[in-house]
């Protein structure tokens, strides 16, 4: 699980992988919510391992999981990085 290498350096000095994620089931209104999940990596010792995570609020919704994910898969890397930076800033402001 989460065997991919870090994709971004966070403003906190951490190394993060990013994934577009969707709820397992629709909400009461029938829509699926999609968000970005950032896995923070502990980069010590002989191997890296996940050491925590951050996530955005819902960024898109759809009648199906694929429909909800489509806008997130279309985000340019700069936008994903901006979302990571915002998540880290929010965490630092409210530890």
Q: Indicate the SS3 state at residue 4.
A: coil
**Residue 87 placed within a domain:** yes
Average pLDDT over residues 26-41: 94
pLDDT of 58 higher than 70:
yes
pTM over 0.75: yes
**Residue 3 placed within a domain:** no
Question: What is the number of domains present in the chain?
Answer: 1
**Residue 1 placed within a domain:** no
What pLDDT does 14 receive?
87
What pLDDT does 9 receive?
87
Contact 42, 51 (CB under 8 A): yes
pLDDT of 1 higher than 50:
no
Lowest mean pLDDT among 5-19, 25-39, 70-84: 5-19
Residue ranges making up the domain that contains 26: 8-93
**Residue 27 placed within a domain:** yes
Average pLDDT over residues 24-45: 90
Instruction: Determine how β-strand 32-42 pairs with β-strand 49-55.
Output: antiparallel
Q: Indicate the SS3 state at residue 5.
A: coil
Burial class, 67, CB count within 10 angstroms (exposed 0-12 / middle 13-18 / buried 19+): middle
């Amino acid at each position: 699980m989460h065997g991919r290498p870090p994709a971004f350096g966070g403003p906190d000095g951490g190394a993060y992988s990013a994934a577009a994620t969707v709820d397992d089931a629709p909400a009461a209104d029938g829509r699926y919510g999609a968000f970005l999940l950032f896995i923070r990596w502990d980069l010590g010792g002989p191997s890296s391992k996940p050491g925590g995570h951050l996530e955005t609020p819902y960024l898109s919704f759809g009648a199906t999981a694929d429909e909800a994910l489509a806008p997130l898969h279309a985000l340019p890397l700069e936008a994903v990085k901006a979302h990571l930076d915002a998540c880290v800033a929010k965490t630092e402001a409210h530890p």
